[in-house]
Amino acid sequence: MSVANGVPVSERVHRLFRESLNLDVASEQTDLFESGLLDSLALVELLFAIEGEFQIQVALDELDIDNFRTVERISAFVAGSQGGG
Give the pLDDT confidence score for residue 61 in this predicted structure: 77
How many Cβ atoms are within 10 Å of 8's Cβ, its own excluded?
A: 14
Which domains are assigned to the chain?
A: 3-81 (1.10.1200.10)
Give the pLDDT confidence score for residue 28 in this predicted structure: 95
Which residue(s) pair with 4 in the sheet? 7
In degrees, rounded to 5, the angle at the alpha carbon of residue 35 between the alpha carbons of residues 32 and 38 is 45
> 12-41, pLDDT tens digit by residue?
999 999 999 999 999 999 999 999 999 999
